[in-house]
């Protein structure tokens, strides 16, 4: 079931998306959906500028083998893919709204349709590479870090030290780890494949348990 929400700080009574006569009105929604709506609405309520934004980024929520995921996309590609309940989810969504000068609205476009399809195939063990276009905002350094992550093969892992050496930045391990943590495209940009030099599973936005599951799953299916 896809989660429906609309970021605005206008009164719900004057918003067609909340009108009882609107085709967009929620229907038989569960309590958890309303709770998540409140969470998303709280992001927009912090700034009155959201009332005048006209650009809309479609968003969808879907289930996966290790928990519900949420994806956002622009006309160019997927700009966010993460887990419901992950660390700093609210901050990520808030940043996306600001950086793209956008509001987030449930909906569909070709990129969301494709990312859901490819993620389902990934969790079935039949997909090891992704073709869905991405629309990423970040510093040049972070983009280089994320691009290097794409070179880590499915079913393999590298250490932060190895990652820094591949980029010819051996003294930038800490900055690289920070960039990995700022990755907004979970699984597709595989920051989960970077581990400690001693083999330990270091931090992961979705949680160390999810990181462990993903690595074991990929190893079994590679």
Tell me the catalytic residues.
191
Cα 187 off chain centre by: 9
How far apart CA 61 and CA 71 sit, in angstroms, is 6
């Amino acid at each position: 079931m896809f989660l429906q929400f609309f970021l605005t700080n206008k009164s719900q009574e004057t918003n067609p998306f909340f009108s009882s006569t609107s085709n967009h009105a929620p229907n038989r929604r569960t309590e958890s959906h309303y709770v998540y709506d409140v969470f998303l609405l709280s992001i927009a309520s912090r700034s009155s500028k959201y009332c005048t934004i006209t650009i809309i980024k479609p968003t969808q929520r879907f289930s996966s083998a290790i928990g519900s995921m949420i994806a956002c996309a622009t006309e160019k590609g997927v700009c966010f893919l993460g887990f419901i309940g992950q660390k700093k989810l609210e901050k990520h969504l808030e940043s996306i709204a600001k950086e793209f000068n956008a509001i987030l609205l449930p909906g569909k476009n070709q990129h969301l349709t494709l990312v859901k399809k490819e993620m389902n195939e990934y969790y079935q063990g039949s997909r090891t590479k992704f073709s869905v276009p991405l629309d990423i905002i970040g510093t040049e350094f972070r983009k280089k870090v994320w691009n290097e992550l794409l070179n880590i093969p499915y079913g393999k892992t590298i250490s932060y030290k190895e990652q820094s050496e591949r980029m010819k930045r051996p003294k930038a391990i800490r900055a690289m780890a920070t960039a990995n943590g700022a990755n907004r495209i979970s699984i597709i940009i595989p920051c989960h494949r970077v581990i400690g030099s001693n083999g330990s599973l270091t931090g992961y936005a979705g949680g160390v348990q999810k990181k462990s599951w993903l690595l074991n799953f990929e190893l079994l299916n590679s």
